[in-house]
Structures are given as C-alpha cells and as structure tokens.
Amino acid sequence: MMKALVVGGSGSGKSAFAEDLACSLSPTRTYLATMESASPEAQSRIARHRRQRQGRGFTTIECPRSLAMQACATETGSVALLEDLGNLAANALFAYDGSMADPSTTLDRLEREVIALADHYDHVVVVGNEVGSEGISPYPATLTWIQLVGELCCRLAARFDLVVEVTAGIPLVVKGTRA
C-alpha cells in the first residue's frame, strides 16, 4: 500500500513522474481528472495530459468538484492517480456564480475526501502544487486558494508514505522511499 504526494510547480514534470509512479504500482489504474475545460488553455492542458497517458492503461474518471463519489469498486492491486489538488481546490472553493465557499470547511472536506480515496484504493498517487513561492497575490481570493492548497498539501504530506518534489523534471524524495 503506497500513498504518495507528488508536488511541483507548473510545467515541472510532476504529472509525468506521478504517472510513471502509478504505472509502477499496479496494472489496474484509475486517473481522477479534476480540471474543468472552461478555457482554451485548460483544454490544451487536458489534451496534453491525455496524450501523455495514452496507451498506459488508465481509466479516466472526471471529478472536478468532489471526490466523494469516486471511491468506486476497483480490482485488487488498483492505483488511483489524482490530478491535481490545485484544480480540485479551486473548483470546490469558487462557485460558477463567483461566490466563494468557506475555506476552512472546504479544506477539511477535501482532506477527508482524499484520505477516503487513499483508504479505498490499494495505492494512491496525488499530484499537488507548489504554491506561494512566487510572492503574495494582490487578490484576496487567490491568496485564500494558495493558503488552502498549501495547507492541504502539508496535511497530506504528514499522512502519506512518500512525498516527492519535482523540479525541472528532477524528482527529489522529501519523505519516504520510492518503491
């Protein structure tokens, strides 16, 4: 049973590393996609990630706003790859009408959902985000999102077996041992 958190900045190679790790853990793979295709940039990223995992045996489940219903029956030895916490948090925090959910409640709910997911599958690989290192946002809502994602990554890192930070395609094991 492996519970892994893979973090890194945008374009760092964290997704490719996480997919390789998931593939090494099980031939039965579920990809939990959290990005909504609301913009041309999002559509481009989604297409790139689909190409990247094409032919690798992933069953994709779209779950942009909640993981509560994603702990479906799986085969023994299965692995779930959750891509990624930043999108999931943004989608849970910000409503289509522009309103914002309570950050504390959202953080607690997302943590419970990810832990329930990790407890359901034999292995789980969660892709997180390096947030907050580029300075402070002038937008309060963005700062709230940064704080939520950062705290969620910290909470999961404390509970997971393996934590890896990927920078420029180079993985650095921060906690645990790679299988």
The 10s digit of each residue's pLDDT in 45-77 is 778 777 877 788 888 887 777 776 555 545 556
More confident call, 22 vs 39: 22
pLDDT band at 80, cuts 50/70/90? very high
Tell me the mean pLDDT in the region 73-90: 81
Q: Which residues contact 108 (CB under 8 A, 6 or more apart)?
A: none
Residue-wise pLDDT for 109-143, tens only, equals 999 999 988 888 899 999 999 887 766 777 889 89
- Name all domains of the chain by residue range, CATH numbers in brackets: 2-175 (3.40.50.300)
Distance CA(101)–CA(42), nearest Å, equals 22
Q: Write phi, then psi, for 8 (nearest 5 degrees).
A: 170, 165
Tell me the mean pLDDT in the region 144-157: 95
Q: What is the maximum alpha-carbon separation in the chain? A: 47
Whether the link from the prior residue into 97 is cis, omega within 30° of 0, is: no
- Indicate if the pLDDT at residue 19 is higher than 80: yes
Q: What sign does the CA torsion over 89, 90, 93, 97 have?
A: negative
Strands 78-83 and 162-167: unpaired
Helix axis angle, 85-93 to 140-159, nearest 10°: 130
pLDDT at residue number 64: 72
Average pLDDT, the chain: 87
pLDDT at residue number 24: 94
Q: Which long-range contacts (CB under 8 A, 24 or more apart) does 153-159 make?
A: 153/5, 153/7, 153/85, 153/128, 153/129, 155/111, 156/5, 156/85, 156/111, 156/114, 156/115, 156/126, 156/128, 157/5, 159/3, 159/115, 159/118
Tell me the mean pLDDT in the region 87-113: 93
Neighbours of 101 (CB within 10 A): 14
> C-alpha dihedral over 32, 159, 144, 131, to 10 degrees?
-80
pLDDT at residue number 66: 72
Tell me the mean pLDDT in the region 18-31: 92
More confident call, 125 vs 38: 125
The structure's pTM equals: 0.88
DSSP secondary structure string, 28-88?
A: EEEEEE-----SHHHHHHHHHHHHHHTTS-EEEEE-SS--TT------TTEEEEEE-HHHH
